[in-house]
């Protein structure tokens, strides 16, 4: 059998099709490629069908694994309002993992204030939110004790997942100690990404430990190039949106992006 597969691979390669070869088909509802870490910084305007994008995210969950970051008020801001409850119910019904947003100001925010926001999520949001997304993470190893404590605190409050977002290369000590289940090691624009080099340690840890968030990706073709370059990264999200509010809408190529994410990790058409 393997001899036949090898022969087919050689034949396809001879015709310039080697990069488009895989052995088995992709199950329709069992994504085997990348995952999406989605900053869902879009208000759940459920009463306006044109503006309500949360149902588009929910529908996409049938084709790709999505972790959505919910952010009512640059943090929890108290219990979820009725609009957020409506939106999160839609996401929960679709099986989407939801993370509560918490800003840490690169360690400049008092740890007591950060914990207070985790407490708010634990008290009022646990029916929907199963993890915490710590944003503005300091990438230096000198801040490891601060984030180690927050990681342990969130887990102690019953949250299953902790995601850290330094938006850049983080000290490997975070990975060695298992602080954060997923770490966003790049958040920037597409043009800078083309010149970016990932740290060597990416290949030494499971791909599910890493995420990248890239804005200013103009079309699906550039998004494909992101996937080609992001070897060893499981969670990827691209958007053609730009600052100052680069995550306040879905990319114009959202439907095609979701289809692309169904492909095997090693294949980009």
At 247 the pLDDT is: 97
pLDDT along the chain (269 residues), means of 10: 40 40 32 82 97 98 96 98 98 98 98 98 98 98 98 98 98 98 98 97 96 98 94 95 96 95 77
CA distance 179 to 161: 11
Mode of pairing for the β-strands spanning 182-189 and 36-40: unpaired
- pTM for the model: 0.88
H/E stretch holding 222: helix 220-229
Domain boundaries, the chain: 34-261
Q: 266 to each of 178, 231, 235, how far by Cα in Å?
A: 26, 8, 14
CB-based contact 130:96 (threshold 8 Å) = no
Torsion angles phi and psi, residue 10, rounded to 5: -65, -45
CATH topology of domain 34-261: TIM Barrel (3.20.20)
């Amino acid at each position: 059998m393997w001899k036949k597969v090898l022969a087919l691979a050689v034949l396809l390669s001879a015709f310039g099709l080697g990069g488009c070869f895989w052995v088995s088909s992709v199950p329709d509802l069992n994504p085997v490629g990348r995952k999406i870490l989605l900053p869902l910084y879009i208000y759940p305007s459920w009463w306006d069908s044109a503006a309500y994008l949360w149902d588009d995210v929910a529908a996409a969950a049938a084709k790709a694994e999505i972790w959505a970051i919910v952010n009512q008020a640059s943090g929890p801001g108290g219990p979820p309002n009725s609009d957020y409850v409506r939106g999160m119910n839609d996401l929960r019904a679709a099986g989407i993992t939801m993370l509560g947003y918490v800003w840490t100001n690169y360690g400049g925010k008092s740890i007591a204030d950060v914990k207070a926001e985790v407490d708010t999520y634990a008290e009022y949001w646990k029916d929907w939110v199963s993890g915490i997304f710590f944003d503005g993470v300091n990438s230096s190893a000198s801040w490891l004790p601060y984030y180690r404590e927050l990681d342990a605190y969130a887990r102690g409050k019953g949250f299953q997942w902790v995601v850290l977002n330094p938006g850049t290369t983080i000290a490997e000590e975070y990975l060695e100690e298992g602080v954060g289940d997923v770490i966003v090691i790049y958040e920037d624009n597409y043009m800078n990404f083309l010149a970016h080099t990932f740290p060597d340690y990416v290949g030494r840890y499971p791909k599910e430990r890493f995420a990248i968030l890239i804005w200013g990706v103009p079309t699906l073709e550039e998004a494909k190039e992101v996937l080609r370059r992001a070897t060893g990264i499981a969670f990827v999200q691209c958007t053609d949106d730009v600052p100052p509010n680069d995550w306040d809408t879905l990319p114009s190529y959202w439907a095609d992006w979701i289809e692309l994410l169904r492909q095997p990790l090693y294949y980009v058409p």
